[in-house]
Amino acid sequence: MIIKSYDLDTPSIYVIHCNDIGLENFKEILWGIEEECIPYKVENSEIEISECLSHEASLKSKLGIGIGISSEKITLTTSKLDENSPLITIDINDDYDELRCLGSNGARLVKGIELKNLGG
């Protein structure tokens, strides 16, 4: 019997970061997404504007949720929002609880459940 192998593109939240930022700077975001049991994909880009990165990520995501990470800030958006009006924006240097909460909120958007409060 012959079994064909298909390269399936699992619906995921896309996280796109600028080349200046390494994984160690945003791993808490990924852990927040993981805690909610939603898959994610990470890519890097030459673009350095978080709003552009998150918008691009949301358009790539079959779930319509994207996170963009620049050297200064992190934005969370959906494919339905305007590129210049992300849903949530936080500073890249916020504490790890804020970063994890942002990741969790991205996953909660997929699930359609109440978002966690940032900064509290």
**Digit-coded pLDDT (tens) for 47-88:** 999 999 999 999 999 999 999 999 999 999 999 999 999 999
pLDDT in tens, 13-39: 999 999 999 999 999 999 999 999 999
Q: 13-111 belongs to which homologous superfamily? A: B12-dependent dehydatase associated subunit (3.40.50.10150)
Predicted confidence band of residue 7 (pLDDT cuts 50, 70, 90): low
Other C-beta atoms lying within 10 Å of the C-beta of residue 110: 20
Taking the alpha carbons at both ends of the chain, their separation in whole angstroms is 58
C-alpha distances in Å from residue 13, one per residue of 2, 16, 61, 105 = 33, 10, 6, 11
